[in-house]
A and B are shown apart, each in its own frame.
Chain A
């Protein structure tokens, strides 16, 4: 077989290559997903005093920390038990036991959150048994809680790992449900959400609605810690006391669907009422969130919320002409995609290409039904399980006006000569975006700001003198 001589940038932009590219099955080019343990690490950071502990090769832990650190621009704490070739032969038990002992001595956590990377999974380490042995050998105190999650990276993606760790943490920390001791609190689970501002927004809205709540997990103080002159290893997170009482919740409300199925199933099996909604992005999405909270608590929606909603709608009317009829390509995680697409549809924006690497059949169905429900969704196609190299082919053969996704999309956007508005994870080449919510009514305003101002900036920078204007 000869190497192809016509491989040029121009040829890569052709329909002919697009077809070839979509026939590609084995190779992944420019992946748009991360691995299970990364999601587990993010989850583990959101519990008070929790030390994330990677059972596996040390390089994995270094990668997760560096990816998260680059997104949040914050230190990210985690330890690894550094399994090596010997562990591959003899199992990772001695690493785990020694690691637990050292980690506990050095970092005095309130809970250790163990999750696995591939190596431990391939050799079949039984972390549950190892943990029992560690406690028997008094490597760590018997009463130190240790949460467990199996998170092989060759299965699922970061959102799966988040889910497993969350279930592991509740299972480890929460006392059994007692119907006579329910705590009247609404437990809100944000899912794999990398916007600290989203977490703060949930808390603000719940406070405005006078709802006793627990956000679980809550990384807002951990990954957006104020600079007070000293570094805190455990600067916040869902309080352990509220973790302990989690199964006595009045109800659980999940604001992401695809990053939480295991945990929901677990809670339902414990008799806890569970409600799930789409990520509250856009007006309808946020309405649903507010309505769900009001329904669960039985309280009226306060006027403050109505006014806030009104301001967002006003912003939509001010800016609709800049989005209506514009064509968009999007990529990202299922929950974020559902949210952003529904927002675009509300504005009359037209999603054309939607790439989801970690798609599921349920998500596919939900996305197709969402697109089908709007006249603006008719021209859209969901590409499940595809990567950013597929997306590139789509963008250059069937152009759109804007790409929405994380920083990894910048190559494809550049090749297609269109702007990229960064929504998703990771965002490693812009500052502060995680400090602006994309959920809630204020999220609506922020998204309009990002999208519309990007279009207008493009226009100003590319228009001739004739069409250069003070008003846009």
Chain B
């Protein structure tokens, strides 16, 4: 099964991700399951939300055919990023090489699709047959007026996290700081790193930032425009939202551009406030800090008032939490806010630090799920009989088969949960999930035994 994180010595600094990569997200063992995606998917997750760029997959149909437009990242402008572009590598390309096909495809996209940049993703096949994606991109770039950026992320490099990191490197090397505009810092401006605007999450946070006078330079990469990303180095602060997978990026930006970074989360009232206050502090503007303290106090009160009705309905429900990344710990406090007890929590793509943080927030009696395979998931459900499972989409239908209410908090969801507004949506959705009448039908025994009443 997956590496038993609880047995790691979390105080041992060597175990932590010094180089900025979550080293302890261990590899899956052969044959144990198929829950995890690959480095290619990880790179796509990070870069695909860049809305006005074209994203070309140099691979066989598997890599793009199964996955175009499958993540629910939202754009307020161009929808080009969702176009499923692929070279559809076929047998002849495997034999003779796919470089010409790739070059032609890049030129075709540039000519007819008006991209601000083209990202070209290498895959297992293109790498194994020795196509030099980097070289072709450079060649194409000399013939074009837009950047053509190779993303060397064949799936076999490993887990999603590795792909996230590769994407971070690409942004650092090829995008950020490459614009022709001014490069001085913009006061009170931030980048939100690891915010992909899934279901419109970003838009739940933007009003608060605006009200406080904080400028969002760009999200990396939710609803991002290529030009804004290029100027990401002008931000005064980097706020890392999604755990550790882009730590390498913020560390390097700190060294090259002198941009400090902090971690935060916009899930739940408490974390949203805390993050806003931390941002205000980090931006070093006393006025802003004062404004923020007043603002979050007001927002907290307003939000708590609205969710009080939901809280009354959800209080003391028992949940099992099964998620990844930053949501590992941010969800613990979000659920606690609604009076929900967490019986057990587990995670796949989180770092030991995320994990530690989650443990600290959870009731000491709560269990850490060590076995994150389907079998382990089912065992926990059978043991704990929770009122609710909060997890990513892959376990949704398993949960339903055990007749347990399920809320998808990963990219399969359709509603934004970030910020104060998101908290209200979250409470509302959670209430509808837990209190749906369908669970009653499922639990009712049928046909009734003699003498029993069907209610």
Q: How far is the CB of A238 from chain B (nearest CB, A)?
A: 22
Given A27-B105, A85-B157: A106 in contact with B112 (beta carbons within 8 A): no
Q: How far is the CB of A426 from chain B (nearest CB, A)?
A: 9
Given A57-B124, A79-B32: A31 in contact with B84 (beta carbons within 8 A): yes
Are the C-beta atoms of B93 and A154 separated by less than 8 Å?
yes
Are the C-beta atoms of A231 and B375 separated by less than 8 Å?
no
Q: How far is the CB of A283 from chain B (nearest CB, A)?
A: 34
A101-132: which have CB < 8 Å to B?
A: 101-104, 106-107, 117-119, 122-123
Given A84-B156, A88-B128: A153 in contact with B60 (beta carbons within 8 A): yes
A95–B397 Cα distance when bound, in Å, is 29
Are the C-beta atoms of B38 and A62 separated by less than 8 Å?
yes
Task: Say which one of B12-20, B63-71, B238-246, B261-269 lies at the interface with A.
Answer: B63-71
Q: How far is the CB of B123 from chain A (nearest CB, A)?
A: 8
Chain B: CB-nearest residue to A358: B61
B76-100: which have CB < 8 Å to A?
A: 83-91, 93-94, 100
Chain A: CB-nearest residue to B86: A28
Contacting residues, chain B, for A107 (C-beta < 8 A): 375
Are the C-beta atoms of B87 and A27 separated by less than 8 Å?
yes
Q: Which of B39, B88, B114, B400 contacts A4 (CB 8 A)?
A: B114
Q: Which of A29, A80, A103, A118 contacts B60 (CB 8 A)?
A: A118
Contacting residues, chain B, for A343 (C-beta < 8 A): none
> Does A7 sit at the interface, judged by CB under 8 A?
yes
Contacting residues, chain A, for B93 (C-beta < 8 A): 154
> Does B101 sit at the interface, judged by CB under 8 A?
yes
A65-105: which have CB < 8 Å to B?
A: 65-67, 69, 73-75, 77-85, 87-88, 95-96, 98-104
Chain B: CB-nearest residue to A76: B397
A25–B89 Cα distance when bound, in Å, is 12
Given A60-B62, A65-B34: A119 in contact with B108 (beta carbons within 8 A): no
A33–B64 Cα distance when bound, in Å, is 10
Are the C-beta atoms of A27 and B66 separated by less than 8 Å?
no
Given A58-B36, A79-B33, A84-B157: A63 in contact with B62 (beta carbons within 8 A): yes
A1-60: which have CB < 8 Å to B?
A: 1-4, 7, 17, 20-21, 24-31, 33-35, 37-38, 53-54, 56-60
Contacting residues, chain B, for A67 (C-beta < 8 A): 66-67
A35–B85 Cα distance when bound, in Å, is 15
Q: How far is the CB of A223 from chain B (nearest CB, A)?
A: 10
Are the C-beta atoms of A54 and B62 separated by less than 8 Å?
no
Contacting residues, chain B, for A59 (C-beta < 8 A): 36-41, 155
Chain B: CB-nearest residue to A107: B375
Q: Which of B31, B34, B157, B402 contacts A230 (CB 8 A)?
A: B402
> Does B145 sit at the interface, judged by CB under 8 A?
yes
Q: How far is the CB of B93 from chain A (nearest CB, A)?
A: 7
Contacting residues, chain A, for B156 (C-beta < 8 A): 57, 83-85, 87-88, 119
Q: How far is the CB of A1 from chain B (nearest CB, A)?
A: 5
Q: Which of B88, B158, B403 contacts A28 (CB 8 A)?
A: B88
Task: Say which one of B22-30, B164-172, B190-198, B213-221 lies at the interface with A.
Answer: B22-30
A69–B123 Cα distance when bound, in Å, is 24
A204-245: which have CB < 8 Å to B?
A: 225, 227, 229-232
Contacting residues, chain B, for A65 (C-beta < 8 A): 34, 394
A37–B114 Cα distance when bound, in Å, is 34
> Does A312 sit at the interface, judged by CB under 8 A?
no
> Does A157 sit at the interface, judged by CB under 8 A?
yes
> Does A459 sit at the interface, judged by CB under 8 A?
no
Are the C-beta atoms of B30 and A27 separated by less than 8 Å?
no
Q: How far is the CB of A282 from chain B (nearest CB, A)?
A: 29
> Does B255 sit at the interface, judged by CB under 8 A?
no
> Does B35 sit at the interface, judged by CB under 8 A?
yes
Are the C-beta atoms of B62 and A117 separated by less than 8 Å?
yes
Q: How far is the CB of A245 from chain B (nearest CB, A)?
A: 30
A54–B124 Cα distance when bound, in Å, is 15
Are the C-beta atoms of B61 and A153 separated by less than 8 Å?
yes
> Does A202 sit at the interface, judged by CB under 8 A?
no
Of listed A34, A64, A85, A153, residue having the most chain B CB within 10 A: A153
Q: How large is the interface on A (under 10, 10 to 19, 20 to 34, 35 or more residues)?
A: 35 or more
Contacting residues, chain B, for A79 (C-beta < 8 A): 31-34
> Does A265 sit at the interface, judged by CB under 8 A?
no
Are the C-beta atoms of B62 and A58 separated by less than 8 Å?
no
> Does A61 sit at the interface, judged by CB under 8 A?
yes
Are the C-beta atoms of B62 and A75 separated by less than 8 Å?
no
Are the C-beta atoms of A229 and B27 separated by less than 8 Å?
no
B98-133: which have CB < 8 Å to A?
A: 100-102, 104-105, 107-115, 123-125, 128-129
> Does A295 sit at the interface, judged by CB under 8 A?
no
Contacting residues, chain A, for B63 (C-beta < 8 A): 63
> Does A142 sit at the interface, judged by CB under 8 A?
no
Q: Mark B374-406, 1 if CB is under 8 A from A, else 0.
A: 110010000000000000011011101111000
> Does B144 sit at the interface, judged by CB under 8 A?
yes
> Does A155 sit at the interface, judged by CB under 8 A?
yes
Chain B: CB-nearest residue to A95: B30
A125–B87 Cα distance when bound, in Å, is 24
Are the C-beta atoms of A77 and B374 separated by less than 8 Å?
yes
A17–B156 Cα distance when bound, in Å, is 38
Contacting residues, chain B, for A21 (C-beta < 8 A): 112
A464–B135 Cα distance when bound, in Å, is 59
A25–B92 Cα distance when bound, in Å, is 14
Q: How far is the CB of A190 from chain B (nearest CB, A)?
A: 22
Are the C-beta atoms of A122 and B124 separated by less than 8 Å?
yes
Are the C-beta atoms of B402 and A231 separated by less than 8 Å?
yes
Are the C-beta atoms of A35 and B144 separated by less than 8 Å?
no
Contacting residues, chain B, for A2 (C-beta < 8 A): 145
Are the C-beta atoms of B104 and A34 separated by less than 8 Å?
no
Contacting residues, chain A, for B86 (C-beta < 8 A): 27-28, 31
A152–B65 Cα distance when bound, in Å, is 14
Contacting residues, chain A, for B29 (C-beta < 8 A): 82, 98, 102
A154–B131 Cα distance when bound, in Å, is 15
Q: Mark B272-290, 1 if CB is under 8 A from A, else 0.
A: 0000000000000000000
Contacting residues, chain A, for B38 (C-beta < 8 A): 57-60, 62
Given A20-B112, A25-B104, A74-B397: A101 in contact with B66 (beta carbons within 8 A): no
A83–B144 Cα distance when bound, in Å, is 37
Are the C-beta atoms of B403 and A227 separated by less than 8 Å?
yes
Are the C-beta atoms of A118 and B401 separated by less than 8 Å?
no
Are the C-beta atoms of A30 and B124 separated by less than 8 Å?
no
Of listed B37, B60, B124, B159, residue having the most chain A CB within 10 A: B124
Q: Which of B34, B84, B123 contacts A62 (CB 8 A)?
A: B34
Are the C-beta atoms of B401 and A31 separated by less than 8 Å?
no
Q: How far is the CB of A159 from chain B (nearest CB, A)?
A: 12
> Does B442 sit at the interface, judged by CB under 8 A?
yes
Are the C-beta atoms of A1 and B107 separated by less than 8 Å?
yes
> Does B143 sit at the interface, judged by CB under 8 A?
yes
Given A80-B34, A153-B62: A1 in contact with B111 (beta carbons within 8 A): yes
Contacting residues, chain A, for B378 (C-beta < 8 A): 231
> Does B176 sit at the interface, judged by CB under 8 A?
no
> Does B313 sit at the interface, judged by CB under 8 A?
no
Are the C-beta atoms of B94 and A57 separated by less than 8 Å?
no
Q: How far is the CB of B325 from chain A (nearest CB, A)?
A: 16
> Does B209 sit at the interface, judged by CB under 8 A?
no
Q: How far is the CB of A48 from chain B (nearest CB, A)?
A: 18
Chain B: CB-nearest residue to A68: B66
> Does B336 sit at the interface, judged by CB under 8 A?
no
A63–B27 Cα distance when bound, in Å, is 17
Are the C-beta atoms of A3 and B146 separated by less than 8 Å?
yes
Given A77-B374, A102-B29: A119 in contact with B88 (beta carbons within 8 A): no
Q: How far is the CB of B10 from chain A (nearest CB, A)?
A: 26
Selected A-B contacts with CB under 8 Å, 9 pairs: A27-B86, A30-B83, A63-B63, A63-B66, A85-B158, A152-B60, A153-B125, A155-B90, A232-B401
> What 3 pairs across the A-B complex have the smallest Cβ distances?
A59-B38, A99-B31, A99-B30
Beyond A57-B124, A59-B39, A119-B156, 14 additional contacts (C-beta under 8 Å) are A27-B85, A28-B84, A28-B88, A31-B88, A63-B63, A64-B66, A69-B397, A85-B157, A98-B31, A106-B375, A118-B128, A122-B129, A154-B94, A227-B400
